[in-house]
A and B are shown apart, each in its own frame.
Chain A
């Protein structure tokens, strides 16, 4: 049973460019959340997608946007990249509804902005 798959693994972009990160959730999971983890910090919540809509959003600017597809996979887009956007971007999937907190994280995409 494949867990959460993220691509690419590593990425180097230039300041001002745009980037798209991709996530395939764990089988049976329909909710996808994105987190940003700066070096030496805990992950910070960016947003969550459920039923192809953004359900919750953290304290991130509009440069960060996302999408969820009918097969539950998701994309994170970041426009006008800043040096401070360099971080590990984590995708977490979970089943909807109540119950055990089944957040499963992928290994992340390490983004470096130069």
Chain B
């Protein structure tokens, strides 16, 4: 069993839809959770960073963490064609710069105009 599981998709939605992206994990020691967006031929770009269970909102993006279920989600409201990218969840045990990120496989999202 991989430490982080993420459905690779692809996921295709119409413009304006609400998108839900999810990851599950097996290591209960993970404390910090991130979502990265990666456009084709580019490096990952940090979208959201959360520490505790609960919700964190930033504009059209909401990150949700449920440590009891070992489940994290990213919701995108009013999706736009510019949101078309691969979304990677990542998690780490230690804070600061001491930990190595464990990534999911990524979910490829396509938002159709």
Binding site for B on A (CB under 8 A): 4, 31, 33, 35, 40-45, 48, 50, 55-56, 58, 90, 92, 94-108, 110
Contact = CB atoms under 8 A, between A and B. Distances in A.
A107 B40 CA distance: 10
Contacts of A99: 95-96
A100 B32 CA distance: 10
Contact of B43 (A31, A33, A100, A108): A108
B97 A96 contact: yes
A43 B103 contact: yes
Contacts of A48: 97, 100
Interface of B: 4, 6, 8, 32, 34, 36, 41-46, 49, 88, 90, 92, 95-106
B100 A33 contact: yes
A42 B6 contact: yes
16 contacts: A33-B100, A33-B101, A40-B8, A40-B105, A40-B106, A45-B102, A56-B98, A92-B101, A101-B46, A101-B95, A103-B34, A103-B101, A104-B46, A105-B43, A107-B43, A108-B42
Contacts of A40: 8, 105-106
B32 to A, nearest CB: 6
A31 B100 CA distance: 12
